[in-house]
């Protein structure tokens, strides 16, 4: 179903720098998720530059493995699902609603791709496409906690989207009453490649999608998280205040390569600088 017959597993694992066991075990899954999240970049450049993101496995492999570009959740999950299918894992794809602190009485669209993997008698959540993703699978049980990365995540079974039962992923928030805020919610309703194609079309091409209006890039490492929102570069470190700075449009190709590990071809870099310059010029002037 996930095009593993056309997937180059060896090239993918080499891109991750993964040389471990290939048996479909929890240990293998844990190591693969960590390697994937740390090695592969996250970006929405194709939406911003071209209003097109292709999810066929040949295009995703060419972009993220061979050309060392990043991708967003649908691309990450297409790649990871093909790898898991090649290795013999059993899993179900699902869609999440990215709330980012918004109240559950105002549900967001279900446009975030994730996998639920059944392995060694348990079911776990694999969320490799968020950018700031957990570095390990999270067991699908109420109260499960992930502390493998620089920031913890909490999974709760609860009412979501106007009382419907489901799961909520929480992240730390100092201003929240109990120190946690909802990042995304989801149900276990199975999704298929065609469902992701539909969601991807909306997110990658619709004129009101934020990914079409401006570029967004992320990279997570074991001790920091960097993001680029248009021309604003932010670095977060555990226990430290965020460092935020504005960069010039012509600095972005080098910044993408050096900080985010994302390589843009010369022609693409030129187009990116041009579009960012236009975007900066159309932004409303700041008030004095």
Dist CA 229 CA 133 (whole Å): 18
Whether the pLDDT of residue 163 is over 80: the answer is no
Backbone angles phi, psi at 105, to 5 degrees: -80, -5
Dist CA 85 CA 108 (whole Å): 30
Q: Distance from CA of residue 121 to its chain's centroid? A: 27
Residues in contact with 36: Cβ distance below 8 Å, sequence separation at least 6, in sequence order: 16, 76, 79, 80, 128
Q: Is the pTM of this model over 0.85?
A: yes
| 149-161 per-position pLDDT tens digit | 999 999 999 999 7
Query: pLDDT exceeding 70 applies to what percent of the chain?
Result: 98
| 237-258 per-position pLDDT tens digit | 999 999 999 999 999 999 999 9
Considering the chain, what is the average pLDDT of its residues? 95
Q: With bands split at pLDDT 50, 70 and 90, how would you rate the model's confidence at 284? A: low
* Residue 185 Cα distances to 20, 88, 136, 209, angstroms: 32, 27, 18, 20
Whether the pLDDT of residue 162 is over 80: the answer is no
**pLDDT value of position 117:** 98
Dist CA 237 CA 91 (whole Å): 33
Whether the pLDDT of residue 12 is over 60: the answer is yes
């Amino acid at each position: 179903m996930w095009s593993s017959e056309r997937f180059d597993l060896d090239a993918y694992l080499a891109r991750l720098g993964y040389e471990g066991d290939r048996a479909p075990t929890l240990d293998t899954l844990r190591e693969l998720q960590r390697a994937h999240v740390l090695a592969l970049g996250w970006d929405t450049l194709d939406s911003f530059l071209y209003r097109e993101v292709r999810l066929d496995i040949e295009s995703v492999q060419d972009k993220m493995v061979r050309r060392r570009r990043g991708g967003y959740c649908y691309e990450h999950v297409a790649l990871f699902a093909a790898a898991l299918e090649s290795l013999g894992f059993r899993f179900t794809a699902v869609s999440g609603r990215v709330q980012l602190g918004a109240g559950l009485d105002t549900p967001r669209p279900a446009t975030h791709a994730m996998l639920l993997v059944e392995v060694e008698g348990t079911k776990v959540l694999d969320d490799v496409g968020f950018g700031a993703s957990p570095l390990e699978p999270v067991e699908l049980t109420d109260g499960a906690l992930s502390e493998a990365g620089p920031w913890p995540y909490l999974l709760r079974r609860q009412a979501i989207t106007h009382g419907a039962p489901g799961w909520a992923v929480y992240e730390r928030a100092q201003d929240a009453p109990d120190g946690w805020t909802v990042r995304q919610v989801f149900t276990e309703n199975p999704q298929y490649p065609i469902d992701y194609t539909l969601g991807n079309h909306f997110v990658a091409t619709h004129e009101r999608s934020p990914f079409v209006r401006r570029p967004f890039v992320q990279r997570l490492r074991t001790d920091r998280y960097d993001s680029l929102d248009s021309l604003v570069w932010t670095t977060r470190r555990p226990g430290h205040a965020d460092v935020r700075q504005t960069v010039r449009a012509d600095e972005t190709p080098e910044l993408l390569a050096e900080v985010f590990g994302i390589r843009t071809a010369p022609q693409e870099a030129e187009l990116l600088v041009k579009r960012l310059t236009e975007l900066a010029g159309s932004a409303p002037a700041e008030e004095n």
